Structure 1
Amino acid sequence: MKTDELITMLVDSPRPPSRAAVASRLGLGFAISLAAALLLLMLLPGAAAGLMTRVTMPAFWAKLALPLTMTPAAVCVTSRLSQPGVRVGRAWVALALPVGMVCLAALLVLAVAAPEVRGELILGHTWRTCSLNIVLLSMPALGALLWAMRGLAPTRPQLAGAATGLLAGAIGASAYCLRCPEMNVPFWAAWYLLGMAAPALLGSLLGPRMMHW
Protein backbone atom coordinates (compact mmCIF):
# COMPACT_ATOMS: atom_id res chain seq x y z
CA MET A 1 0.00 0.00 0.00
CA LYS A 2 1.32 3.42 -0.95
CA THR A 3 1.75 6.13 1.65
CA ASP A 4 -0.87 8.36 0.04
CA GLU A 5 -3.41 5.52 0.05
CA LEU A 6 -2.71 4.80 3.74
CA ILE A 7 -3.18 8.46 4.66
CA THR A 8 -6.45 8.61 2.71
CA MET A 9 -7.72 5.43 4.41
CA LEU A 10 -6.89 6.80 7.87
CA VAL A 11 -8.58 10.12 7.11
CA ASP A 12 -11.72 8.46 5.76
CA SER A 13 -11.98 5.78 8.48
CA PRO A 14 -14.73 6.04 11.11
CA ARG A 15 -13.91 8.12 14.17
CA PRO A 16 -15.26 7.89 17.71
CA PRO A 17 -18.06 10.41 18.31
CA SER A 18 -17.25 13.50 20.31
CA ARG A 19 -18.86 14.15 23.68
CA ALA A 20 -20.95 16.87 22.08
CA ALA A 21 -22.22 14.45 19.44
CA VAL A 22 -23.10 11.86 22.10
CA ALA A 23 -24.91 14.44 24.24
CA SER A 24 -26.77 15.87 21.26
CA ARG A 25 -27.92 12.56 19.81
CA LEU A 26 -28.83 10.89 23.11
CA GLY A 27 -30.45 14.11 24.32
CA LEU A 28 -32.70 14.18 21.27
CA GLY A 29 -33.52 10.50 21.67
CA PHE A 30 -34.34 11.03 25.35
CA ALA A 31 -36.59 14.02 24.64
CA ILE A 32 -38.49 12.07 21.98
CA SER A 33 -38.76 9.09 24.33
CA LEU A 34 -40.20 11.07 27.22
CA ALA A 35 -42.67 12.95 25.02
CA ALA A 36 -43.83 9.72 23.37
CA ALA A 37 -44.27 7.94 26.71
CA LEU A 38 -46.36 10.77 28.17
CA LEU A 39 -48.45 11.04 25.01
CA LEU A 40 -49.08 7.31 24.99
CA LEU A 41 -49.96 7.45 28.69
CA MET A 42 -52.72 9.95 27.92
CA LEU A 43 -54.25 7.44 25.53
CA LEU A 44 -54.57 4.77 28.22
CA PRO A 45 -58.05 4.59 29.79
CA GLY A 46 -58.28 6.23 33.19
CA ALA A 47 -54.86 7.86 32.91
CA ALA A 48 -55.77 10.96 34.91
CA ALA A 49 -58.17 9.33 37.38
CA GLY A 50 -57.08 9.97 40.96
CA LEU A 51 -53.80 11.64 40.00
CA MET A 52 -54.34 14.71 42.18
CA THR A 53 -55.02 12.50 45.18
CA ARG A 54 -52.01 10.27 44.56
CA VAL A 55 -49.51 13.13 44.31
CA THR A 56 -50.38 14.17 47.87
CA MET A 57 -49.21 10.78 49.22
CA PRO A 58 -45.55 10.34 50.30
CA ALA A 59 -45.69 6.79 48.92
CA PHE A 60 -46.30 8.17 45.44
CA TRP A 61 -43.04 10.11 45.49
CA ALA A 62 -41.18 7.13 46.94
CA LYS A 63 -42.52 5.02 44.06
CA LEU A 64 -41.58 7.66 41.49
CA ALA A 65 -38.08 7.84 42.96
CA LEU A 66 -37.30 4.31 41.73
CA PRO A 67 -37.42 4.98 37.97
CA LEU A 68 -36.35 8.61 38.36
CA THR A 69 -33.10 7.64 40.10
CA MET A 70 -32.48 4.84 37.61
CA THR A 71 -32.93 7.16 34.63
CA PRO A 72 -29.83 9.39 35.03
CA ALA A 73 -27.71 6.34 35.92
CA ALA A 74 -28.97 4.54 32.80
CA VAL A 75 -28.24 7.65 30.72
CA CYS A 76 -24.69 7.64 32.05
CA VAL A 77 -24.18 3.93 31.34
CA THR A 78 -25.70 4.22 27.87
CA SER A 79 -23.64 7.26 26.92
CA ARG A 80 -20.41 5.56 28.00
CA LEU A 81 -21.27 2.38 26.12
CA SER A 82 -21.91 4.48 23.00
CA GLN A 83 -18.21 5.41 22.83
CA PRO A 84 -15.36 2.96 22.16
CA GLY A 85 -12.78 2.61 24.89
CA VAL A 86 -14.82 4.40 27.58
CA ARG A 87 -15.25 2.45 30.82
CA VAL A 88 -18.64 2.35 32.51
CA GLY A 89 -17.05 2.11 35.96
CA ARG A 90 -19.10 3.19 38.96
CA ALA A 91 -22.10 4.06 36.82
CA TRP A 92 -23.10 0.39 37.18
CA VAL A 93 -23.26 0.89 40.96
CA ALA A 94 -25.43 3.98 40.57
CA LEU A 95 -27.77 1.97 38.35
CA ALA A 96 -27.94 -1.04 40.67
CA LEU A 97 -28.33 0.95 43.90
CA PRO A 98 -32.02 1.96 43.47
CA VAL A 99 -32.87 -1.62 42.48
CA GLY A 100 -31.13 -3.03 45.54
CA MET A 101 -32.76 -0.49 47.84
CA VAL A 102 -36.30 -1.16 46.64
CA CYS A 103 -35.76 -4.93 46.86
CA LEU A 104 -34.41 -4.61 50.39
CA ALA A 105 -37.32 -2.38 51.39
CA ALA A 106 -39.78 -4.88 49.89
CA LEU A 107 -38.24 -7.73 51.87
CA LEU A 108 -38.45 -5.71 55.09
CA VAL A 109 -42.11 -4.86 54.46
CA LEU A 110 -42.94 -8.50 53.78
CA ALA A 111 -40.99 -9.66 56.83
CA VAL A 112 -43.03 -7.53 59.24
CA ALA A 113 -46.37 -8.06 57.46
CA ALA A 114 -48.84 -10.72 58.52
CA PRO A 115 -48.53 -13.86 56.37
CA GLU A 116 -52.10 -13.58 55.12
CA VAL A 117 -51.53 -10.14 53.55
CA ARG A 118 -48.15 -10.77 51.92
CA GLY A 119 -49.72 -11.98 48.70
CA GLU A 120 -51.86 -8.86 48.48
CA LEU A 121 -48.82 -6.64 49.07
CA ILE A 122 -47.08 -8.23 46.10
CA LEU A 123 -50.01 -8.60 43.73
CA GLY A 124 -51.97 -5.46 44.58
CA HIS A 125 -54.97 -4.87 42.30
CA THR A 126 -53.23 -4.36 38.95
CA TRP A 127 -50.47 -6.98 38.75
CA ARG A 128 -51.92 -8.39 35.53
CA THR A 129 -51.50 -5.10 33.65
CA CYS A 130 -48.76 -3.14 35.43
CA SER A 131 -45.69 -4.65 33.77
CA LEU A 132 -47.44 -4.80 30.41
CA ASN A 133 -48.30 -1.10 30.58
CA ILE A 134 -44.71 -0.21 31.46
CA VAL A 135 -43.47 -2.24 28.50
CA LEU A 136 -46.03 -0.57 26.24
CA LEU A 137 -44.96 2.91 27.35
CA SER A 138 -41.31 1.91 26.88
CA MET A 139 -41.56 0.80 23.25
CA PRO A 140 -41.44 4.27 21.61
CA ALA A 141 -38.51 5.14 23.88
CA LEU A 142 -36.70 1.95 22.94
CA GLY A 143 -37.08 2.74 19.24
CA ALA A 144 -35.92 6.35 19.63
CA LEU A 145 -32.94 5.46 21.83
CA LEU A 146 -31.81 2.59 19.59
CA TRP A 147 -31.93 5.03 16.69
CA ALA A 148 -29.78 7.45 18.70
CA MET A 149 -27.27 4.74 19.61
CA ARG A 150 -27.10 3.52 16.02
CA GLY A 151 -25.60 6.87 14.99
CA LEU A 152 -22.86 6.61 17.64
CA ALA A 153 -20.11 4.02 18.07
CA PRO A 154 -20.95 1.28 20.60
CA THR A 155 -18.42 -1.55 20.47
CA ARG A 156 -20.39 -3.86 22.79
CA PRO A 157 -23.77 -3.80 21.06
CA GLN A 158 -25.48 -6.45 23.17
CA LEU A 159 -24.59 -4.74 26.45
CA ALA A 160 -25.29 -1.31 24.97
CA GLY A 161 -28.66 -2.57 23.76
CA ALA A 162 -29.53 -3.87 27.23
CA ALA A 163 -28.59 -0.53 28.83
CA THR A 164 -30.62 1.30 26.18
CA GLY A 165 -33.61 -0.94 26.88
CA LEU A 166 -33.28 -0.38 30.62
CA LEU A 167 -33.25 3.37 30.06
CA ALA A 168 -36.37 3.03 27.93
CA GLY A 169 -37.96 0.95 30.68
CA ALA A 170 -37.13 3.58 33.31
CA ILE A 171 -38.73 6.27 31.15
CA GLY A 172 -41.82 4.10 30.66
CA ALA A 173 -42.04 3.34 34.38
CA SER A 174 -41.68 7.03 35.27
CA ALA A 175 -44.61 7.85 33.02
CA TYR A 176 -46.69 4.95 34.34
CA CYS A 177 -46.23 6.16 37.94
CA LEU A 178 -48.63 8.98 37.09
CA ARG A 179 -51.37 6.43 36.44
CA CYS A 180 -50.56 3.54 38.78
CA PRO A 181 -52.73 3.37 41.94
CA GLU A 182 -50.48 0.89 43.78
CA MET A 183 -48.61 2.20 46.83
CA ASN A 184 -46.96 -0.93 48.29
CA VAL A 185 -43.19 -1.37 47.98
CA PRO A 186 -43.34 -5.15 47.31
CA PHE A 187 -45.58 -4.43 44.32
CA TRP A 188 -43.05 -2.00 42.82
CA ALA A 189 -40.17 -4.39 43.46
CA ALA A 190 -41.96 -7.16 41.57
CA TRP A 191 -43.88 -5.59 38.71
CA TYR A 192 -42.05 -2.31 38.08
CA LEU A 193 -38.70 -4.07 37.89
CA LEU A 194 -40.20 -6.76 35.65
CA GLY A 195 -41.66 -4.08 33.40
CA MET A 196 -38.24 -2.41 33.09
CA ALA A 197 -36.38 -5.70 32.63
CA ALA A 198 -38.42 -6.68 29.57
CA PRO A 199 -37.25 -3.74 27.37
CA ALA A 200 -33.70 -4.36 28.62
CA LEU A 201 -33.91 -7.95 27.39
CA LEU A 202 -35.39 -6.85 24.09
CA GLY A 203 -32.69 -4.21 23.73
CA SER A 204 -29.97 -6.81 24.28
CA LEU A 205 -31.46 -8.88 21.45
CA LEU A 206 -31.82 -5.92 19.07
CA GLY A 207 -28.50 -4.28 19.91
CA PRO A 208 -26.25 -6.51 17.77
CA ARG A 209 -28.60 -6.05 14.80
CA MET A 210 -29.08 -2.30 15.07
CA MET A 211 -25.77 -1.02 16.41
CA HIS A 212 -23.24 -2.54 14.03
CA TRP A 213 -20.95 0.02 12.40
Structure 2
Amino acid sequence: MKTDDLIALLASEVAPVDRHVVAKRFATALLCGLAGALLLIVTGYGIRADLAVIATTPLFWAKLALPAALLFGALLLTTRMARPGTRVGRSWALLAAPVVIVWVAALAILLTAPAESRVSLLLGDTWRECLANIALLSIPAFIAAFLALRGLAPTRPRLAGGAAGLLAGSIAALAYSLHCPEMAVPFWALWYLLGILLPGVLGTLLGPRLLRW
Protein backbone atom coordinates (compact mmCIF):
# COMPACT_ATOMS: atom_id res chain seq x y z
CA MET A 1 0.00 0.00 0.00
CA LYS A 2 1.29 3.42 -0.92
CA THR A 3 1.89 6.02 1.78
CA ASP A 4 -0.77 8.36 0.41
CA ASP A 5 -3.31 5.54 0.37
CA LEU A 6 -2.46 4.63 3.97
CA ILE A 7 -2.88 8.23 5.11
CA ALA A 8 -6.20 8.49 3.31
CA LEU A 9 -7.39 5.24 4.88
CA LEU A 10 -6.42 6.34 8.39
CA ALA A 11 -7.98 9.78 7.90
CA SER A 12 -11.25 8.24 6.75
CA GLU A 13 -11.65 6.49 10.09
CA VAL A 14 -11.25 9.64 12.18
CA ALA A 15 -14.46 10.86 13.78
CA PRO A 16 -14.96 14.61 14.20
CA VAL A 17 -14.08 15.92 17.65
CA ASP A 18 -16.64 17.97 19.53
CA ARG A 19 -15.21 21.48 19.82
CA HIS A 20 -17.03 21.98 23.12
CA VAL A 21 -15.99 18.73 24.76
CA VAL A 22 -13.80 20.45 27.39
CA ALA A 23 -16.55 22.89 28.36
CA LYS A 24 -19.11 20.09 28.57
CA ARG A 25 -16.92 17.85 30.70
CA PHE A 26 -16.04 20.58 33.17
CA ALA A 27 -19.60 21.90 33.33
CA THR A 28 -20.63 18.41 34.39
CA ALA A 29 -17.75 18.24 36.88
CA LEU A 30 -18.72 21.60 38.39
CA LEU A 31 -22.35 20.61 38.76
CA CYS A 32 -21.50 17.24 40.30
CA GLY A 33 -18.87 18.71 42.62
CA LEU A 34 -21.05 21.55 43.84
CA ALA A 35 -24.10 19.30 44.22
CA GLY A 36 -22.05 16.80 46.22
CA ALA A 37 -20.62 19.49 48.50
CA LEU A 38 -24.03 21.07 49.08
CA LEU A 39 -25.55 17.66 49.82
CA LEU A 40 -22.87 17.04 52.44
CA ILE A 41 -23.48 20.50 53.92
CA VAL A 42 -27.23 20.00 54.18
CA THR A 43 -27.14 16.44 55.48
CA GLY A 44 -23.96 16.46 57.56
CA TYR A 45 -23.36 20.01 58.76
CA GLY A 46 -26.48 22.08 58.30
CA ILE A 47 -26.97 25.58 56.92
CA ARG A 48 -26.27 28.30 59.48
CA ALA A 49 -29.51 29.37 61.15
CA ASP A 50 -29.02 33.09 60.57
CA LEU A 51 -28.21 32.80 56.87
CA ALA A 52 -31.18 34.91 55.78
CA VAL A 53 -30.04 37.75 58.05
CA ILE A 54 -26.31 37.50 57.40
CA ALA A 55 -26.90 37.34 53.64
CA THR A 56 -27.99 40.98 53.76
CA THR A 57 -24.51 42.11 54.82
CA PRO A 58 -21.71 43.00 52.37
CA LEU A 59 -19.22 41.01 54.46
CA PHE A 60 -21.06 37.76 53.74
CA TRP A 61 -20.82 38.36 50.00
CA ALA A 62 -17.16 39.28 50.33
CA LYS A 63 -16.68 35.95 52.11
CA LEU A 64 -18.34 34.14 49.19
CA ALA A 65 -16.37 36.19 46.67
CA LEU A 66 -13.05 34.71 47.78
CA PRO A 67 -13.75 31.05 46.89
CA ALA A 68 -15.87 32.12 43.91
CA ALA A 69 -12.98 34.11 42.43
CA LEU A 70 -10.56 31.27 43.09
CA LEU A 71 -13.02 28.84 41.52
CA PHE A 72 -13.08 30.91 38.33
CA GLY A 73 -9.28 31.12 38.18
CA ALA A 74 -8.81 27.43 38.94
CA LEU A 75 -11.41 26.46 36.34
CA LEU A 76 -9.67 28.51 33.67
CA LEU A 77 -6.31 27.03 34.61
CA THR A 78 -7.62 23.46 34.66
CA THR A 79 -9.36 23.73 31.29
CA ARG A 80 -6.18 25.14 29.76
CA MET A 81 -4.16 22.29 31.26
CA ALA A 82 -6.59 19.83 29.66
CA ARG A 83 -5.56 20.94 26.15
CA PRO A 84 -2.10 19.97 24.86
CA GLY A 85 0.03 22.94 23.92
CA THR A 86 -2.28 25.56 25.42
CA ARG A 87 -0.57 28.40 27.22
CA VAL A 88 -1.49 28.98 30.85
CA GLY A 89 -1.58 32.72 30.19
CA ARG A 90 -2.98 34.86 32.98
CA SER A 91 -4.64 32.00 34.84
CA TRP A 92 -2.10 32.15 37.67
CA ALA A 93 -2.73 35.89 38.01
CA LEU A 94 -6.46 35.24 38.37
CA LEU A 95 -5.66 32.87 41.22
CA ALA A 96 -3.16 35.19 42.88
CA ALA A 97 -5.22 38.40 42.70
CA PRO A 98 -8.00 37.42 45.18
CA VAL A 99 -5.40 35.98 47.55
CA VAL A 100 -3.40 39.21 47.58
CA ILE A 101 -6.53 41.32 48.03
CA VAL A 102 -7.85 39.31 50.96
CA TRP A 103 -4.42 39.19 52.63
CA VAL A 104 -4.06 42.95 52.36
CA ALA A 105 -7.53 43.39 53.88
CA ALA A 106 -6.77 40.88 56.65
CA LEU A 107 -3.45 42.54 57.47
CA ALA A 108 -5.09 45.96 57.64
CA ILE A 109 -7.74 44.62 60.02
CA LEU A 110 -5.17 42.94 62.25
CA LEU A 111 -2.95 46.01 62.42
CA THR A 112 -5.82 48.28 63.41
CA ALA A 113 -7.43 45.83 65.85
CA PRO A 114 -6.60 45.84 69.58
CA ALA A 115 -3.68 43.54 70.33
CA GLU A 116 -5.75 41.30 72.58
CA SER A 117 -8.30 40.55 69.85
CA ARG A 118 -5.90 39.65 67.04
CA VAL A 119 -5.59 35.98 67.97
CA SER A 120 -9.37 35.55 68.07
CA LEU A 121 -9.67 37.25 64.67
CA LEU A 122 -7.28 34.68 63.22
CA LEU A 123 -8.49 31.57 65.02
CA GLY A 124 -12.16 32.27 65.61
CA ASP A 125 -14.00 29.40 67.28
CA THR A 126 -13.78 26.78 64.53
CA TRP A 127 -10.23 26.86 63.18
CA ARG A 128 -9.57 23.27 64.29
CA GLU A 129 -12.29 21.81 62.06
CA CYS A 130 -12.20 24.28 59.19
CA LEU A 131 -9.39 22.60 57.24
CA ALA A 132 -10.82 19.10 57.67
CA ASN A 133 -14.32 20.22 56.70
CA ILE A 134 -13.21 21.92 53.48
CA ALA A 135 -11.02 18.94 52.59
CA LEU A 136 -13.94 16.54 53.14
CA LEU A 137 -16.35 18.69 51.14
CA SER A 138 -13.87 18.81 48.25
CA ILE A 139 -13.97 15.04 47.67
CA PRO A 140 -16.93 15.00 45.21
CA ALA A 141 -15.48 17.85 43.14
CA PHE A 142 -11.99 16.33 43.31
CA ILE A 143 -13.24 13.06 41.85
CA ALA A 144 -15.36 14.82 39.22
CA ALA A 145 -12.52 17.12 38.12
CA PHE A 146 -10.06 14.24 37.77
CA LEU A 147 -12.59 12.21 35.79
CA ALA A 148 -13.06 15.19 33.47
CA LEU A 149 -9.31 15.51 33.00
CA ARG A 150 -8.77 11.80 32.40
CA GLY A 151 -11.06 11.96 29.38
CA LEU A 152 -8.99 14.76 27.86
CA ALA A 153 -5.29 15.18 27.11
CA PRO A 154 -3.30 16.91 29.87
CA THR A 155 0.40 16.87 29.02
CA ARG A 156 1.52 18.27 32.38
CA PRO A 157 -0.24 15.92 34.81
CA ARG A 158 1.34 17.36 37.95
CA LEU A 159 0.20 20.91 37.21
CA ALA A 160 -3.13 19.71 35.86
CA GLY A 161 -3.74 17.70 39.02
CA GLY A 162 -2.84 20.66 41.20
CA ALA A 163 -5.21 22.92 39.27
CA ALA A 164 -8.01 20.34 39.56
CA GLY A 165 -7.37 20.13 43.31
CA LEU A 166 -7.59 23.90 43.68
CA LEU A 167 -10.82 23.83 41.72
CA ALA A 168 -12.24 21.19 44.06
CA GLY A 169 -11.08 23.11 47.14
CA SER A 170 -12.67 26.32 45.88
CA ILE A 171 -15.99 24.57 45.31
CA ALA A 172 -15.80 23.07 48.80
CA ALA A 173 -15.00 26.42 50.44
CA LEU A 174 -17.88 28.08 48.59
CA ALA A 175 -20.30 25.45 49.91
CA TYR A 176 -18.77 25.57 53.40
CA SER A 177 -19.45 29.31 53.58
CA LEU A 178 -23.13 28.49 53.96
CA HIS A 179 -22.39 26.64 57.20
CA CYS A 180 -19.33 28.37 58.66
CA PRO A 181 -20.21 30.92 61.39
CA GLU A 182 -16.89 32.78 61.13
CA MET A 183 -17.13 36.26 59.61
CA ALA A 184 -13.72 37.77 60.42
CA VAL A 185 -11.70 38.46 57.28
CA PRO A 186 -8.39 37.27 58.84
CA PHE A 187 -9.99 33.92 59.65
CA TRP A 188 -11.08 33.00 56.15
CA ALA A 189 -8.05 34.71 54.64
CA LEU A 190 -5.97 32.10 56.48
CA TRP A 191 -8.04 28.97 57.03
CA TYR A 192 -10.17 29.02 53.89
CA LEU A 193 -7.07 29.46 51.75
CA LEU A 194 -5.28 26.64 53.57
CA GLY A 195 -8.36 24.45 53.16
CA ILE A 196 -8.41 25.15 49.41
CA LEU A 197 -4.68 24.51 49.19
CA LEU A 198 -4.92 21.01 50.70
CA PRO A 199 -6.74 19.42 47.73
CA GLY A 200 -4.42 21.38 45.46
CA VAL A 201 -1.37 19.76 47.05
CA LEU A 202 -3.05 16.35 46.91
CA GLY A 203 -3.89 16.86 43.25
CA THR A 204 -0.28 17.79 42.51
CA LEU A 205 0.92 14.59 44.15
CA LEU A 206 -1.67 12.34 42.48
CA GLY A 207 -1.65 13.98 39.05
CA PRO A 208 1.28 12.02 37.58
CA ARG A 209 -0.31 8.76 38.71
CA LEU A 210 -3.99 9.37 37.95
CA LEU A 211 -3.62 11.43 34.77
CA ARG A 212 -1.04 9.25 33.07
CA TRP A 213 -1.89 8.49 29.44
SS at match of 1:84: coil
Cα separation, 2, equivalents of 1:2 and 1:99: 59
1:43 and 2:43 correspond = yes
Q: 1:156: which partner in 2?
A: 156
- What is the TM-score when the length of structure 1 is the normalising length? 0.92
1:90 and 2:103 correspond = no
Q: 1:198: which partner in 2?
A: 198
After superposing the two structures, state which structure 1 stretch, 163-172 or 52-61, moved more. Answer: 52-61
Counterpart amino acid of residue 53 in structure 2: T
CA drift at 1:11: 4.9
Q: 1:32: which partner in 2?
A: 32
Cα separation, 2, equivalents of 1:92 and 1:209: 23
Cα separation, 1, equivalents of 2:5 and 2:201: 43
CA drift at 1:45: 3.4
Cα separation, 2, equivalents of 1:145 and 1:133: 19
Cα separation, 2, equivalents of 1:132 and 1:5: 59
Q: 1:23: which partner in 2?
A: 23
Question: Residue 193 and residue 9 in structure 1: after superposition, are their counterparts in 2 closer, same or farther (change >3 A)?
Answer: farther
Show the 5 A alignment for 1:31-110. 31-110=31-110
Question: Residue 59 and residue 2 in structure 1: after superposition, are their counterparts in 2 closer, same or farther (change >3 A)?
Answer: same
Identical-pair percentage: 54
CA contact (8 A) 1:54 1:181 kept: no
SS at match of 2:138: helix
**Alignment deviations for residues 127-172 of structure 1 (CA, whole Å, 9 cap, x no partner):** 0111211111101100011001000000000000000000000000
Cα separation, 2, equivalents of 1:5 and 1:40: 57
Q: 1:173: which partner in 2?
A: 173
CA drift at 1:74: 1.1
In structure 2, runs of 5+ residues without a counterpart are none
CA drift at 1:48: 3.8
CA contact (8 A) 2:45 2:179 kept: no
CA contact (8 A) 2:48 2:181 kept: no
SS at match of 1:106: helix
Q: 2:211: which partner in 1?
A: 211
In structure 1, runs of 5+ residues without a counterpart are none
Q: 2:114: which partner in 1?
A: 114
Cα separation, 1, equivalents of 2:122 and 2:5: 65
Counterpart amino acid of residue 93 in structure 1: A
Counterpart amino acid of residue 98 in structure 2: P
Cα separation, 1, equivalents of 2:86 and 2:169: 24
CA contact (8 A) 1:82 1:153 kept: yes
CA drift at 1:10: 6.8
